[in-house]
Structure 1
Amino acid sequence: MSTEPASGHASTLVTQEMDGGGPTPVGRRLAEWRKRRGLAVASLATRAGLPEQLIEDLEAGRDWVDQRHVLSSLATGLRLDPAELTGQPYMPCGADHCTVHSLGWHVRRHLARVFSADGAVAEANREQLAVLVDGLRAADDGGDLVSAVLKVPPLLELASPPQAGEADREVAVLRAAAHTAVGRLLRRLGYWDLAWSVLSQACPPAARPAVLGEEVRLLLDMGQAELAVARAAGAAGVTAEVLLTVAIAHAALGHEAESERLLAVVQDKAVGPQQRSEAASAGAFAAAERGAFDQVLDRAAGTACLPVGDRAGLLVLTASARARLGRYGAAAEDLAAAESIAPLHTRLDPLARELVSVLLAHGDEHAEVLGGIAARFGMK
């Protein structure tokens, strides 16, 4: 059997998602890539540092992936980016998703112009930059990805790297904030390579803490928990957001004590309901990495003040935890709630797509609702 990888992105190699009763999207891609690599289950288990039984269960549809460290370990064992197993970025399904999918084209065009020898740089306008950055953040936080994406092209025009000798510190910080906001949006959508390229342009020292937070989060989403921890180690101006992300990374690495210590540090210093909600949410994600599903639900109960986009992500997490505990009806309700408040955020979440496959196989009570979700996810 040839061990050469198939050409093309995984999302173009798999054209139809499961509708229940078989492997989840990740489980099916796992089997396909393992065979393309010419690996036996035992060999992949050794490479990935995971039990053979888990790999067999994933490929047979008896289990699913809802922990970052499992996904990254499988990808490492197959010499893949985790996105190749999740299928990100997904092929567009519907007009809104097509608009969101165009973000990759806009960013590639922008980067090509920036790196070309004669790339023109727009004159920075402080007021316009500030309005666009705030608008992009608000739309992303509010779960309106279409509005967020539509703000990116004009924002990138104004946020091009500064001319040599530019001395306006406030504009430089706004440029960095723009690149960080675009990088965050790209990360959410699965354009991880483009996100890193955009973040590399946001480098003024005054903006470093905000940029660092997004870099660490990006590394964690890419399955690089060790690099995420290393990136934050010894950095100046580490924010609570960075510490919370590092806490999740430590949980993914099996460092429970350090993870809980960092969570406690941030929780103790949290001021106001939003900061306490952010700390509780990070605690729920850390508990999920450890497989402590009851703790996921307990900690999620203290997250009333999250932005809509983050709230949707947490609802996907609690839905998965409820499914692990055999509460499939409640899991379906959480998943439906996530889609109702932030449709595209939820539909583009790889773990949400995993969960849809699981619930379709177990959620007879909510079969009609789940079937509608699967269709809107582009899985049927």
Structure 2
Amino acid sequence: MTHEIDSGGPTPVGRHLTDWRIRRGLGVADLATRAGVPGQLIEDLEAGEEWVDQGRVLSSLAAGLRLDPAELTGQPYMPHGPGHSTVHSLGWFARRHLARTLSADGAGGEADEARLAELAEGVRAADDDGELASAAQMVPGLLELIGPPRPEDADCRGTALRAAAHVAVSRLLRRLGYRDLAWNLLSHACPPPEAYPAVLGEEVWLLLDMGQAELAVARAVRGEADVPAEVLLPLAVAHAALGQAAESERILASAQEKAISAWQRSQVASAGAFAAAEGAAYDEVLARAEGAAGLPAGDRSALLVLTASARARLGQYEAAVADLATAESLAPLHTRLDPLARELVSVLPARAQEHADVLGGIAARLSMK
């Protein structure tokens, strides 16, 4: 399950790509036709001369092999260290909760709404702050309080709190790579109208991570006037992943107009950077990332991994290593569980040999060495 990073071999995606292509009995040209990508890209990925930093490329390769993108990235990753072991256990708790929800005796009593609100906010805040282990420790108690869906419950506050809890846990599961569990959990949210945008927004992000940009757009768009603000950003990224840059820019502009706080403007700038990455506009990635200084640590780390990859594409290897190291210092587990970070840790040593010690340390903490 571990690999040396200084062998000059392919990245994690490149290794899985070779394994699955052979397993499917496909030649490079066959897969290139199925995936709609150049055969040279596949050859370079498998040889370790290229890496993946675009969701649309990963999705296309996965679709060509009839896989979920997680099969190519290796998610969910085997636990490494106490923090990762703690968050890894969430899969078990989520499965148990879903089994109880579907069982005949799954009905629970009245939940302590104050405690439910406290835990849901605690999980969300810890996730935002990059403290995944702390967030994970609150999840078992939160799942116990959520109980089964009660769409007939007239107490909108209770159903809204349960929906917020579902979103908080689903987002955490999504980050860990448990996308099937995240989707099943969201399907039990039963949100009232005021909580629906948050649930829908998480569904769209989840579909994007699953490589389903077209479904993400279809899920989000229910008439132009009905697209809530919480959904605009993942919708913009989805359009960018589909090569619809003009529509992506239009949606980002709309989101910018609706942003009323520094945090919201930072979120828009970050989404713009991810959208630019889908079009391989790496200078634009760096320019837009400059406007995202107000992000919390968890989101900031993901953006820094993205800018590290953009800098590597531009030949700015020293700056790329610095961004990657900063991302890990801000939110260690966020960064170690990020597939793009693992791709970079595989390719940067050959390009930034003077920083081998830094990269070797990061690789060891990612259990890649």
TM-score range (shorter-chain normalised) is: over 0.9
Deviation at 1:238, TM superposition (A): 2.8
- Aligned partners of 1:214, 1:153: CA distance in 2, in Å? 20
Q: Is structure 2 residue 267 aligned with structure 1 residue 278?
A: yes
Distance 2:350 2:109 in 1: 53
- Deviation, structure 1 residue 184: 0.6
Structure 2: 5+ residue stretches without partners? none
One-letter amino acid of the structure 2 residue matched with residue 239 of structure 1: P
Q: For residue 321 of structure 2, what is the amino acid of its counterpart?
A: A
Matches within 5 A, 1:282-297: 282-297=271-286
CA distance in 2, matches of 1:253, 1:375: 35
Assess, with a 3 A threshold, how the Cα gap between structure 1 residues 20 and 242 changes in structure 2: closer, same or farther.
farther
Tell me what 2:203 maps to. 215
- Residue 79 in structure 1 maps to residue 66 in structure 2: yes
Within 5 Å, give how 1:86-97 maps onto structure 2: 86-97=73-84
The two structures, once aligned, show a CA RMSD in angstroms of 1.3
Distance, in Å, in 1 between the alignment partners of 2:23 and 2:150 is 48
Q: Structure 1: how far apart are the matches of 2:227 and 2:363?
A: 40
| Counterpart pick for 2:216 among 225, 228, 233 | 228
Equivalent residue, structure 1, for 2:140: 153
How has the CA–CA distance of structure 1 residues 264 and 165 changed in structure 2, closer, same or farther, with 3 Å as cutoff? closer
1:5 is aligned to: none
Are the equivalent residues in 2 in contact too, given 1:20–1:361 (CA < 8 A)? no
2:43 counterpart of 1:41: no
Could you tell me the TM-score, scaled by structure 1's length?
0.94
Q: Residues 165 and 78 (structure 1 numbering): CA distance in 2 closer, same or farther, change over 3 Å? A: closer
CA 1:239–1:19 in structure 2 vs 1: closer, same or farther (change >3 Å)? farther
Return the match for 1:27 from 14, 18, 27.
14
Hey, what's the Cα distance between the residues in 1 that align with 2:219 and 2:152?
A: 29
- Counterpart of 1:226, as a letter, is E
Q: Is the 8 A contact 1:30 1:59 kept in 2?
A: yes
Are 1:344 and 2:350 counterparts? no
Instruction: Quote how far apart the aligned CAs of 1:126 are.
Output: 1.0
Q: Which amino acid aligns with 2:185?
A: V
- 1:128–1:155: structure 2 CA closer, same or farther, 3 Å change rule? same
AA aligned opposite 1:301: E
Q: What is the CA-CA distance between 1:204 and the residue it aligns to?
A: 2.4
Residue 319 of structure 2 corresponds to residue 330 of structure 1: yes
Q: In 2, are the aligned partners of 1:284 and 1:296 still within 8 Å (CA)?
A: yes
User: 1:318 corresponds to which residue?
Assistant: 307
> What is the Cα deviation at residue 165 of structure 1?
4.3
Counting matched residue pairs gives 367
Change (3 A) 1:103 1:307: same
Q: Name the amino acid aligned to 1:282.
A: A
Q: Distance in 2 between matches of 1:276 and 1:120?
A: 42
* Structure 2 SS opposite 1:331: helix
User: Which of these residues, 241, 245, 249, is aligned with residue 256 of structure 1?
Assistant: 245
Q: Is the 8 A contact 1:23 1:61 kept in 2?
A: yes
Q: For residues 101-143 of structure 1, what are the alpha-carbon distances to aligned partners after superposition, in whole Å with 9 as ceiling and x for unaligned?
A: 0010111111111111122424211111111111111100000
For 1:210 and 1:204, the matched residues in 2 are separated by 9
- 1:125 and 1:337 map into 2 onto residues whose CA distance is 40
Specify whether residues 322 and 163 from structure 1 end up closer, same or farther in structure 2 by C-alpha distance, changes over 3 A only. closer
Paired with 2:150 and 2:211, the residues of 1 have a C-alpha distance of 35
Q: d(CA) in 1 for partners of 2:325 and 2:151?
A: 50
Q: In 1, are the aligned partners of 2:150 and 2:159 still within 8 Å (CA)?
A: no
Structure 1 residue ranges, 4+ long, deviating more than 6 angstroms after superposition: none
Matched, 1:245 2:234: yes
Maintained 8 Å contact 1:27/1:58: yes
Partner Cα separation in structure 2 for residue 156 and residue 218 of structure 1: 20
Confirm whether residue 188 of structure 1 aligns to residue 175 of structure 2: yes
Write out per-residue CA displacement over residues 124-169 of structure 1, whole angstroms, 9 at most, x where no aligned residue.
1111111111111110000000010011111011111245743221
Structure 1 CA distance for aligned equivalents of residues 318 and 271 of structure 2 = 25
Separation of aligned partners in 1, 2:160 and 2:151: 15
Distance 2:55 2:109 in 1: 40
Shift of 1:241: 3.0
Alpha-carbon deviation of 1:366?
1.0
Q: CA–CA distance in 2 between the matches of 1:237 and 1:306? A: 27
Q: Measure the CA separation in 1 of the matches of 2:234 and 2:256.
A: 13
Q: Secondary structure at the match of 1:291?
A: coil
Contact kept in structure 2, 1:20 and 1:359, CA below 8 Å: no
- Give SS of 1:306's match: coil
- 5+ residue gaps, structure 1: 1-13
Q: Percent identity?
A: 71
